[in-house]
Each structure stands twice: as C-alpha cells, then as structure tokens.
Structure 1
Amino acid sequence: MSSAATRATGPDHLWSVDEHLEDILTTVRPLEPIELNLLDAQGCVLVEDVTVPVSLPPFDNSSMDGYAVRVADVAGASEEFPAVLDVVGDVAAGQADLLHVGPGQAARIMTGAPLPPGAETVVPVEWTDGGLGEGPVTGMRARSLAPEGAEGHVHVYRSAQARAHVRATGSDVKAGDRALEAGTVLGPPQIGLLAAIGRGTVRVRPRPRVVVLSTGSELVQPDEQLGSGQIYDSNSFALTAAARDAGAIAYRVGAVADDAETLRSTIEDQLVRADLMVTTGGVSVGAYDVVKEALSHVGDEDEEGGGVEFRKLAMQPGKPQGFGSIGPDHTPLLALPGNPVSSYVSFELFVRPAIRALMGLDDVHRPTTRATLTAGNALTSPKGRRQFLRGTYADGAVTPVGGAGSHLVAALAHADALIVVPEDVESVEPGTEVEVVLLG
C-alpha cells in the first residue's frame, strides 16, 4: 500500500488535495540514471554536471568572408586612398596548413576559418574590391567573389581595429567551464552544446514510460460509427497527449470494456512497458465501476507495499481517485475519474507531478500566479471542497470558461488556466484576486 495510507481512517475518509499529492510524491521515486546517445537523451534530465573539455571556439577564427590582414597595413585606408595588399592565398574552414601573413600581405579567409599567423584582424569582402580592382564589392557579388580569385592584389577601402570580425578562442565557453548543470532538461540547444564540446553520450534519467488506459463499454474509437448510447473515447487521447507534454514517452491503450477480467489482463500485459500506469474511468461507486474490482487482483498486491487504494478527495471536479502500486516491480498506478474534465484536472494536479518526479526534476508543479477574477457573476463553490474551474488568463486577469460541469470538453479546450477556489470559500465576487494554475 502507498506510504500515506496509514493516515486514512477507512473508505469514508475524505482526503485533501494536498494529502493525496504528498502521498504520490513521497511514493514515486526518480528513475535510475542511464547513459544515452545525444539524440536519445532529448527531453531527459542530466544527473551530473558537464564540464567543457575543449574551448569553444577551439581557435581564433573569422566571423566573415573577407581578408586576414595586419592592422598597420590598412590604417587610414579609404575609397580615395585604398590600401593595396598582396594576396598570398586562401584560408578555408577546416584548413590545417595555414599561410603566414606578413607586412603588406593579405589572405582570403572564409567564415569559420582559422586566423592565420601574422594576421591581426579581418576586413569583410564588402570593404574591398574582391581582388578585381573594380571598387568595393557589395551584396550577392560580395558573397560569390569572396572564396574565389587567384593570387594577386586586393584593394582595401576601410581600416580595421585589432581582432575585428575575429571570434576569439574560448569566447563561447572555455575548457574547464561548466557547460550544463545536473538537473538540466536536454532540449535542442543543450544537445547542440554537448555535441559542440565533443560529448557523444550523456548520463541522464530516462523519460518515464507512461501507459494510459481508458475504461467503459460505451467508448468508441474516433472514426468509428457511434451506436446507441455510445460516445467517443477522448480521455485516453487527452491524457496521452498530456503525458507527452509533461516529458514522458506515452502509450495509449484502446478503451477496455467494463469487464474486470479483461481489464486485469490488459493491465498485466502493459506492465512490461510502464514506469507509470494511468487509468481513467471506473473509480466511483457504480455497479459497473470495474477498475476497483480489477485492481484488487493485479500482480503482487499481497506483497508489502503493493496494492491500489481508492479514495474520496475534497475537490471538485475529481472526487474519486485511486493510487498505489501494482506488479512485481511495484509500478505506480493512478486511477482517475472518467468524466473528461475530472480526468484532465486530476492529471494536471497529480499525474503530471508524478511524471516530473520520475524524471528527477526538483520543480514538478505547473506555475501558479495571482489574478483578478473577471466574470459577470459571482463564482460559487461547494463548502469543504477545493474547486478547480477552467479559465483564460491574460495580463493579470482570469476569466472563467464554461461552467463547473465535469463533462464540458469544449470549454476545457479553450482554457489555459485553472481557477482555484479554496475549501473554505463558497463564493467569489468579480474583482477578487484568486490563485491561478497556468496550464502552459
């Protein structure tokens, strides 16, 4: 059983939102670190600091196509009195054997190429005649002529300060610097940095594998024909997308009918690819709420620490909830209610933090803020329940979207925030400052 279950006084105990969340977060442990190739590590969390082995850039190089020259040789250069220099050759990116630039000399240089010995600065090709003696080169002609031309002379029409258009060794990061801290989520820029400093693999906590399973004989898959009394299965799609948004590798399982044995078998089959299981539906007190029945016989529920407890929470929507662990590896399982809004709100409050905890993140919660309620009428909330209403947030104000009904999928699709009404508040007047959970 989960760690906080000993606090419960039985099936009629009313858990607070905070108690239920605390139980989840004290039970779920971060996944063990593994070494992954860079692209496989995208979205994962670093478990150790990464130190720079080689400075970036590793050598002085040009930030422009142009000419590498000595400062004294172009001092005072103008269009009327250009500096005329001997071109001693080309320096291309990746070139190992470098030319030496002496007095009165210049070397054509490409963007990213090493600054050759003797050179002190780079003049862009647009400041020259491109070695053709026809005046300053501009636009597309500058780019097309920069890497071409035989040795000869170049006219330079502007002076340049020392190390102008030169990227200095270590100007990005220096050898020995800390490139990334432990706890960093690896996105594209971080992957790029790791590659740039020569790291092909990195030690991370893997992205959690989350299996989402919906229950209900009335559920039909999208694109299929609806029969009498049937509805489309939207919960499994919404929760799978939400799990991916939270950083997980999520697998959606087609809706399972209201049959305990079928559900039990499906869950046991899915455990092989699950670090976390999420079910939706079948957790209330109805005659066909089979999740309770099925989960009371899954895997190693008799072993110490195993089993799923079903609870009533002092919240709206989402009063019925289930939490525990199943199977030989004690895989965490969260059982959410079946109404679409209830399941999504429950995911944001409980499942998303569990996923982030599995990833090893310190901050597992959505950001919250205070906002002024803008509404035509006062909001009402049941006494003793923490209510989460959908809303839209902008510029310090939040506006309710739709009503309190837990079936209002269309209103949920237009919301980007949850308005929190505390347990001891039964009415909130327009203009009141309220707590808001920002949904991204």
Structure 2
Amino acid sequence: MLPLDEALARLLAAVQPLGRSEMLLTAEALGRVLSQDVVSLLDVPPADNSAMDGYAFCAADVREPGTVLPVAQRVPAGVVGAAHLPGTAARIFTGAQVPVGADTVLMQEQCEAVPGEGLGAVRFLSVPELGNAIRRRGEDVERGATVLSVGSRLDPAGLGLAASVGAAQLKVARRPRVALFSTGDELVMPGEPLRPGAIYNSNRFTLRGLLQGLGCEVLDLGIVPDRLDATRAALRDAAAQADLIITSGGVSVGEEDHLRPAVQAEGQLELWQIAIKPGKPLAFGSVRRNHDGGSAWFIGLPGNPVASLVTFCLLVRPVILRLQGATRLHPRAYALRADFNWPRADRRQEFLRARLNEAGGLDLFANQSSGVLSSAVWGDGLVDNPSGRSIAPGDTVRFLPFSELLS
C-alpha cells in the first residue's frame, strides 16, 4: 500500500495549474485564487487619524491633570480640519484626520467638556503619552507594498484588504470545471421511494458541496446505470466538458463494477491501495477528449460515505487547489490533547472523527466505521493517527479541523 504522503506527491506531480484567468469585481472574488499580485498604490491609512472619539492637542500643552484648553475646531471623519493652533484642542472623532500640528489624542471618557463661547473648552482628566490614540499614516500598508500574492486564496479579510488599497477588480484563476457522477443501480435520490435493496445517494450531495466550497464549477451528471456502455458514454460526456472527473465507488473488479474497464477503454487508469483508514482504494487516471486530443483527469473515490469524504479532503482537495494555482495546498494541523482511549493500533494511518470539548481536549465518536456519516457531522475534525500507534488519555495528537478540510 502507498503511504498517504507518497500518493499525494504523485497526484500533485501529475497535475499542473490550468493557467486560465479572469477579472472579477473584488466583491465577487470570495474563495477564488489570485492570478496577479495586489500592490497598494497608496498608504493605508492615507494620513494620521484618530483611533477614537476624543480631543486632539499638543502633548506639550497638557502637562498635568486638570489642564483646560479652548476647543478651536470640530473634526468629524471625512473632513480635513484646519492646521492646529498651539494652546488649543480639537474635538475629533474616530477615523478623522488629525490636524497638522497636533500630536496626541485623548479619549472623550478621560475628558470633560467645559461650556463657554464658541465650541467651549475641554478639561483633561489625565495626561497621556505623546502620540496616544493616533493611527499613523501607512502603519497598516505602505505604498508599493504587495498586500496579496499570486496563489493566495481570497477570504473575507483578503477581500477587505484588497478594497482598502483601492482594488476594484482582481485577476483570479477561472473556476475548475469538475464533472461528478455516481454509478450504481442501488442508488436513488432523496424524495424518491426507497425500494428494497436501494439506498439514498448521499455521496453525490457531500462531494458536490465539497467541490462548490472549493470554488469549482460543478457539472452534476447524476446517476449512471450499471452498464459498461452507459459508463463509457458518461465518461466521454464528462471529459468533453470538464478538467477533472470525480466518482465514488464502482472501481472494484466485480461483475457490476464497470468504471475500471470504462476508464481503461476511454483513457488510462491506475488503481492505488493507500495506507489510510478509512479510504484505502483510490483510482487515478485520465479520460481522452475526442474533440481536441486533450484529456480530463479522473479520480475515483471509495464508495463508503466517510471514506469518500476523507479521501476527498486529504487527496482531492489539494489537487483542486493546485489546478487553480494556489500556493497553500495543505490544511493547518494543531497539536491537541486526547481525552479518549484508542488502544488498538492499526497498520494503516488512521483518521478518527473527534470533537473539541470544553476542557480543550478531544473526544472521540464512538463508532468509527467508514459508513457512519453522522460521525463527520458530530465531529469538529480528524485525528491524524500514525500507523502502529495507540492513543491513551493525555497523549498529544495531530488534529485536522473540518474548518480547514471542508473548504
């Protein structure tokens, strides 16, 4: 059996970024991968501004609590005030540009308004440090800085950062086109009668959701009958439209398993046994496109729901990110305490469904069968347990959160 790391290395060596890009409005680029650096053409903030509502003044004019200064001007956000007059204060609000000549701001809770002519005066109840509560020009981003690099996958914070430097549009990788279909005469769709011997097609929904979460254009080709001719026709249809074809189940050698001979007839196929649990079987290859002489990649996942989910997260997710040119392909992992006992070591690398508890440790779902999809809904992620290792309460384990794996 192939170790997981070797199998993933083979996949990533085989596929290359698609290299197709498009311009999108920044507001529409969530989850997409940048094809061009975002470089700031301005300082952020563009000028010194107040971090809070209060009063701006010269620190040299306020040397002791109780000092009173006349208020010379009022500076709301979006307004550029007049140059600061020594011996005065300016009423200022959060985000407003600090008047030229003022060097300190004190929050309004530490000040007391004194009624009088004009804007009155202000009494300072404390003495702040020089430069207090001022956000300096360029302290977030300096002009000319690369704020987001090629290969970055855009999250909400990234979109906000791009907008903060004035990027109205972003150049991003086009969505990979991924064809998805299921094989099996036993499969029916939710809403249809569940005849004897049939099961509802859960993998179709899980895999479609995973693909959409990764920014793919999903071509859902439905359920293919258990016939060789129908399977070959489905593969040809998928290859004509897609960059990648994903299936689950049906790559065994049984009389009703037609995917293996179908892919071999329409392209090429490798069957791998991967040393992980759940998810040992994986098919990888390509299907020819008749119209242009090219081919679409093919990955066949195991049929059991949790095995299909786990192998997608560990092996297919990095492939899809690579097709988009992403630079970070692997999920973040965390070292956490096991609050469970797992005494039976396995010769395969195990991925156990676990949940964070209030004490900061991990609890294990009772049934770790590859067919129990409820374990993935209950859990917060996977414990990555090396081959041959048992786990005792208090041991430190490697944890892969679903927040990393499912998007």
Taking structure 1 as the reference length, the TM-score comes to: 0.74
Q: 1:253 to 1:132 in 2, by over 3 A?
A: farther
SS in 1 for 2:308: helix
Q: Quick one: which of 108, 118, 121 aligns to 1:154?
A: 121
Deviation at 1:348, TM superposition (A): 3.0
Deviation at 1:243, TM superposition (A): 3.1
SS in 1 for 2:181: strand
Q: Quick one: which of 350, 371, 392 aligns to 2:354?
A: 392
Q: Quick one: which of 321, 327, 344 aligns to 1:356?
A: 321
> Any idea what the Cα deviations from partners look like across 1:132-185, whole Å, max 9, x if unmatched?
36xxxxxxxxxxxxxxxx833213233454333222211222223332344332
Q: Which residue of 2 aligns with 1:116?
A: 99
In 2, Cα distance between equivalents of 1:170 and 1:105: 27
Q: Do 1:83 and 1:156's aligned partners in 2 also have CA atoms closer than 8 Å?
A: yes
In 1, Cα distance between equivalents of 2:161 and 2:367: 45
Deviation at 1:245, TM superposition (A): 4.6
In 1, Cα distance between equivalents of 2:90 and 2:239: 65
Matched, 1:21 2:4: no
Judge which range, 166-175 or 316-325, deviates more.
Answer: 316-325
Counterpart residue identity of residue 155, structure 1: V
Judge which range, 268-277 or 355-364, deviates more.
Answer: 268-277
In 2, Cα distance between equivalents of 1:152 and 1:353: 62
Q: Quick one: which of 301, 305, 316 aligns to 1:340?
A: 305
Deviation at 1:188, TM superposition (A): 1.2
Q: Which residue of 2 aligns with 1:6?
A: none
Question: What 5-or-longer segments of structure 2 have no aligned partner?
Answer: 403-407
Question: What 5-or-longer segments of structure 1 have no aligned partner?
Answer: 1-13, 134-149, 302-306
Matched, 1:229 2:197: yes
Counterpart residue identity of residue 51, structure 1: V
Q: Which residue of 1 aligns with 2:33?
A: 45
Q: 1:259 to 1:168 in 2, by over 3 A?
A: same
SS in 2 for 1:408: coil
Deviation at 1:218, TM superposition (A): 1.4
Q: Do 1:308 and 1:333's aligned partners in 2 also have CA atoms closer than 8 Å?
A: no
In 2, Cα distance between equivalents of 1:215 and 1:393: 33
In 1, Cα distance between equivalents of 2:161 and 2:42: 12
Q: Do 1:32 and 1:205's aligned partners in 2 also have CA atoms closer than 8 Å?
A: yes
Give runs of aligned pairs for residues 219-258 of structure 1, distance below 5 A. 219-246=187-214, 248-250=216-218, 252-258=220-226
Deviation at 1:28, TM superposition (A): 0.9
Deviation at 1:57, TM superposition (A): 0.9
Give runs of aligned pairs for residues 36-435 of structure 1, distance below 5 A. 36-78=24-66, 82-85=67-70, 87-96=71-80, 98-130=81-113, 132=115, 151-158=118-125, 159-246=127-214, 248-250=216-218, 252-271=220-239, 274-296=242-264, 301=266, 307-313=267-273, 315=275, 317-326=278-287, 327=289, 328=292, 329-366=294-331, 375=341, 377-379=343-345, 381=347, 386=348, 388=350, 390-392=352-354, 401-403=366-368, 405-414=369-378, 416-417=381-382, 420=385, 422=387, 431=392
Q: Do 1:122 and 1:164's aligned partners in 2 also have CA atoms closer than 8 Å?
A: yes
> Any idea what the Cα deviations from partners look like across 1:8-59, whole Å, max 9, x if unmatched?
xxxxxx7665554343222211121524332333223334544332111111
Which structure is larger by alpha-carbon Rg, 1 or 2?
1
Percent identical across equivalent pairs?
Answer: 33
Q: 1:124 to 1:213 in 2, by over 3 A?
A: same
Q: 1:217 to 1:436 in 2, by over 3 A?
A: farther
Q: Do 1:88 and 1:99's aligned partners in 2 also have CA atoms closer than 8 Å?
A: no
Q: Do 1:374 and 1:431's aligned partners in 2 also have CA atoms closer than 8 Å?
A: yes
Count the aligned residue pairs.
Answer: 389
Deviation at 1:344, TM superposition (A): 2.4
Q: Do 2:152 and 2:328's aligned partners in 1 also have CA atoms closer than 8 Å?
A: no
Deviation at 1:84, TM superposition (A): 4.1
SS in 1 for 2:245: strand
Q: Which residue of 1 aligns with 2:405?
A: none
Deviation at 1:257, TM superposition (A): 2.7
In 1, Cα distance between equivalents of 2:263 and 2:320: 21
Deviation at 1:397, TM superposition (A): 7.3
Counterpart residue identity of residue 104, structure 2: T
Deviation at 1:112, TM superposition (A): 1.5
Counterpart residue identity of residue 359, structure 1: Q
Judge which range, 242-251 or 184-193, deviates more.
Answer: 242-251
Taking structure 2 as the reference length, the TM-score comes to: 0.79
Deviation at 1:197, TM superposition (A): 1.1
Q: Do 1:391 and 1:419's aligned partners in 2 also have CA atoms closer than 8 Å?
A: no
Deviation at 1:334, TM superposition (A): 0.6
In 1, Cα distance between equivalents of 2:137 and 2:27: 27
